[in-house]
Every structure is written in C-alpha cells, then in structure tokens.
Amino acid sequence: MIGILSLSRDVYFNLAVEEYLLKQKTDDIFMLWQSETSVVVGKHQNTFAEVNHAYIREHQIPVARRLSGGGTVFHGPGNLNFTFIMNGEPGKMVNFRKFVTPVIEYLKTLGLSAEIGTQNEILIGGVKISGNAEHIFKKRVLHHGTLLFNANLKILEEAIKVVPERYIGKAVQSNRSTVGNISSYLNSPLILKDLTMGLFQFLRDYYKVKNTYNFSRQELDAIEHLRNNKYITTAWIYHYSPPFEVKREIRINGQLITISLKVDKGIITDATLNSIPMSDWKDLLVKLIHNPYEYNQIELVLKASGLFSDDQVMAILKALF
C-alpha cells in the first residue's frame, strides 16, 4: 500500500492522476487531494443536464467529468477528496463499505457520529457530508469520495441548480440530497489542513503505510498528457454525454414557439419547430444541424441569422441551456 498527498489543486490533473494510478500502477493506493472550485459529473451523465450553465459561465467555474459513475459532486477549497485504488478478485471488487469505513472511523476520532447511508454516502445526523463512487478496471477498483468540510454551500447549490426534465435522454441523473459541512458538527474548532493531515496519518496507520509516494518526472509527464488530451477536452466533458433531446418553449415577438434539438456525441443532429412563422426559421434550423451543442456556437448561429435582437438571443440561450 502506498499513500499519496496531491499538492495540485487542478481538478483535471487530479482526475488524470486517478486514471494513471488505476491503469499504470499495480500497487494498492490511497490518495488525498483538493481542487479549486469546480463541478464534477459522473461518467454516464449528461453534463448539460447537471449544471447551471448561466451561473458557471458568470462565475467561471470549471466543469469536469470523472472516470466513475454516480452523480454530480462539487469540489472547492472547503472540500477534501479521498481516493482508494486496490487490487481485487473479479466479481467481488465493488464494496463501498470497505472503503468508506476507515474514513468514518477517522471522523469518529473527531467526536462525529458518522455512518454510511443507503446511497453509499457518509451521513452525520442524517445529513450528507460525503458522496462516493467506484469504477472497475480489470482486476483493480477505483473508489473515491468527497468530504464537505467548510464548503460554500451557496455556490454548491447554485452551480448544480438545474431545470428538471429540460433534457430528455437516458443519462444517469443525480439525486439531490440535503448536504452539510463537517465543521458545523465539530465540538472543537479545526481547520481543513489539520483534517487533511489527520486523515492522512490515520490512513497510513490503518493500512500500515510507511512512506509517502512521490511521482517521478516521467510519471508527471504521462499524467499531464492524459490531462491535456482527455480530461480537459470538450469531447470528454460534454460530448461523451449520452444522446439527448432538449425541448423548450420560447416566446419570440409575442408568439410561443416550441423548439426541439436532438444531440448525439455533442452534435446537433436534428432541429424542429412546432410551427414555422417565417421561411427564415427553416434556414436557421438547417444551419443549427451539424453544429456542436455549445453555448458559444449556437450564439454565433443565432446572431448570424439576423432574426433576433441581442435580448432575444440571450432569451433563447437561457431557455436552451
């Protein structure tokens, strides 16, 4: 067993680290890490349906996709993330309790009555303070989770606030839960750095780990390559989403219009209206097809059509995203 304490706050780098360790190493591993404010969706989710696009654009919050399934989670300076990667026997590797238990045991040393919930989350007093997910690769399992310590819950709430059923498809949807911060339940003040170092030492003792692992230059280069060619790309973050349809009602010049866009692998494959008030709309729909379903790209097509004022363009984009 080796222990790693990541010094990077780059969410894309740390997700690449997880995949590198899972697929390129053979050791059993635990790692603690943090990210700057970001939203991380599960592998099988529709990213468009999981984030508040207007809010994350305004506040420049990065969006990432991880290797594991499950729901959307929030990362930030008030969070600590933990990762376990272990070898196992095929068919017996999915075991949330096995990996959540040492984290719960550590929280108990802080006087917290933590427990595992029915969705494999960690609860304190029935409130979720940790979400967990797993991914299997050959004979290795990746388990990771978040710990909300003193996260900005207002930003968390706004960043993942979405319109229900805006997007129609088969993607895994998040189950929104009541969340809270660990710091709210502590009897004695504690800072996140102390929680991090305390958990790191607890896990070292728990697994009898003697040394902290440091990456070689060659390993860091390989991780950076994975970050730059996969985790930070639009193809992975957005276009990996399962096929979906977005269907919205928009009022233009006093007329209520229903626009429907079908999207596959991030590309608009079909565009229809419930009525065609003018021939120019037909030209617009044709121009939308084969374009990426991306805010900036659709904005360009709408403005180039000459059909709408700037306010109308913004209204359409708000409805679609």
Q: Find, among 45, 47, 33, 40, the residue nearest to 61 by Cα.
A: 40
pLDDT band, residue 284 (cuts 50/70/90):
confident
Determine the Cα–Cα distance for residues 285 and 271; give it in Å rounded to an integer.
6
Q: Are residues 146 and 217 in the same domain?
A: yes
When pLDDT is averaged across residues 38-65 and rounded to a whole number, the result is 93
Token look-up 């359409």 returns: 316
SS3 content of the chain, % helix, strand, coil (to 5): 35, 25, 35
Q: Are residues 136 and 252 in the same domain?
A: no
Q: Are residues 267 and 230 in the same domain?
A: no
Domain boundary among 219, 237, 255: 237
When pLDDT is averaged across residues 209-229 and rounded to a whole number, the result is 95
Which strand (E) or helix (H) includes residue 250? strand 244-252
Determine the Cα–Cα distance for residues 8 and 35; give it in Å rounded to an integer.
7
Domain boundary among 237, 263, 298: 237
Q: Are residues 107 and 55 in the same domain?
A: yes
Domain that holds residue 29: 2-237
Provide the pLDDT for residue 278. Answer: 52
Q: Are residues 118 and 251 in the same domain?
A: no
Q: Are residues 41 and 61 in the same domain?
A: yes
Domain harbouring 219, CATH code: 3.30.930.10
- 50: exposed, middle or buried (Cβ count in 10 Å: 0-12, 13-18, 19+): buried
When pLDDT is averaged across residues 111-133 and rounded to a whole number, the result is 94
Domain harbouring 314, CATH code: 3.30.390.50
Q: Are residues 60 and 142 in the same domain?
A: yes
Provide the pLDDT for residue 167. Answer: 74
> Model-level pTM greater than 0.75?
yes
Summarize pLDDT for 96-108 with one digit per residue, the tens: 999 999 999 999 9
For the chain, give the percent of residues with pLDDT over 70: 95
Summarize pLDDT for 145-186 with one digit per residue, the tens: 999 999 999 999 999 888 666 777 765 555 557 899 999 999
Domain boundary among 178, 209, 237: 237
Count of domains for the chain: 2
Q: In this structure, what are the phi and psi dihedrals at residue 249, rounded to the nearest 5 degrees? A: -95, 130
Determine the Cα–Cα distance for residues 95 and 248; give it in Å rounded to an integer.
41
Q: Are residues 227 and 248 in the same domain?
A: no
Q: Are residues 96 and 182 in the same domain?
A: yes
